[in-house]
Amino acid sequence: MAGAGMDDQTKPTIPGIHHVTAIAGAPQDNLDFYTSTLGLRFVKRTVNFDDPTTYHFYYGDSLGRPGTILTFFPWPGAQSGRGGAGMAVATAFSVLESSLEPWMDRLAAAGVPFDAPTERFGAPVLRLRDPHGTEVELVPDAGPGDDLSPLGFHGVTLAVSPHEGTVRLLADVFGYDWVGEEEEGGGTRIRLRAPGGAPGRVVDLLTSRAHPRGLMGAGAVHHVAFRAKDAASQLAWRETILEWGLPVTPVQDRQYFTSIYFREPGGVLFEIATDPPGFALDETVDELGSGLRLPPWLEPRREWIAERLPKIRSGR
């Protein structure tokens, strides 16, 4: 597999992850953890466009840039999910070099359980879980400094078996480079990486056939979204994926980006989302996350929606 997808150096490539979306339980617990404990910015408070009585929370860096955005649908009382085959099972953030010890101190002080750091492809990885069971990893692969806020995505881990179709999609269609493989937990961890310097370039595949099928619910990742620079690029990717033989949804308006969805050969739900228009579409950068934002087609129902959403403290 080494060198797969590298025959045509002019071929368009996906630069990295746009966002990751997961399911959570109580909204306030989710908000407190990702803003106060993990140090992300509350970028957008909106609703699930398909179920507007449910929040859709977005967290990211100070500007809400693609490559930093972790989003949640929080359902109070949601049944616990389970990461497994056909799902993303971990989301990794980049942190500063030599910061794992301060991070462990911070997590311990907050009462957050975590595993001792382990080495993966030559770098230490700190694994933890949020209050509803979503697995988060911290990987020191950025420069020196003393800020403990995550600096954007490092990558994601997908549980897929068989894995060959996923590798071909990432290498031959997305343009990812083969990095290598390591034995892990009775299976194999395969790493591919997008060329360039964008955040979220790493996709790891866990290939153990012992993985049970994943179960959607609180703590489970719903989908992984990759970046398209604009609408024209997104349409080109849609045609490419259709030609590759995978069904793809029509373009869907998500207010802050447009999206297409498809299941990759290993069963994980993928999205390709545009970078524009971005999260400052309906708020200034200073205002990001300050109030409930609705798309134009839901605005006439604002009062009805607001009455049915759980009350939260903003986290700002």
Span 232-246, pLDDT tens digits: 999 999 999 999 999
Residue type, 24: A
**CA 38 to CA 278: how far, in whole Å?**
23
Q: What domains are there in the chain, each with its CATH number? A: 17-308 (3.10.180.10)
pLDDT of residue 177: 97
Q: Is the pLDDT of residue 199 over 80?
A: yes
Nearest to 75 by CA among 112, 135, 22, 120: 22
Integer angstrom CA distances of residue 12 from 66, 84, 143, 269, 284: 18, 31, 29, 21, 32
- Partners of 260 in the beta sheet? 272
pLDDT of residue 143: 67
pLDDT band, very low/low/confident/very high, at 151 (cuts 50, 70, 90): confident
- CA 79 to chain centroid: 21
3-state SS, one letter per residue, for the chain: CCCCCCCCCCCCCCCCEEEEEEEECCHHHHHHHHHHHCCCEEEEEEEECCEEEEEEEEEECCCCCCCCEEEEEECCCCCECECCECEEEEEEEEEECCCHHHHHHHHHHCCCCECCCEEECCEEEEEEECCCCCEEEEEEEECCCCCCCCCCEEEEEEECCCCHHHHHHHHHHCCCEEEEEEEECCEEEEEEECCCCCCCCEEEEECCCCCCECECCECCEEEEEEEECCHHHHHHHHHHHHHCCCCCCCCEECCCCEEEEEECCCCCEEEEEECCCCHHHCCCCCCCCCCECCCCCCHHHHHHHHHHCCCCCCCC
pLDDT of residue 80: 94
Phi, psi (rounded to 5 degrees) for 59? -120, 150
Span 260-314, pLDDT tens digits: 999 999 999 999 999 999 999 999 999 999 999 999 999 999 999 999 999 998 7
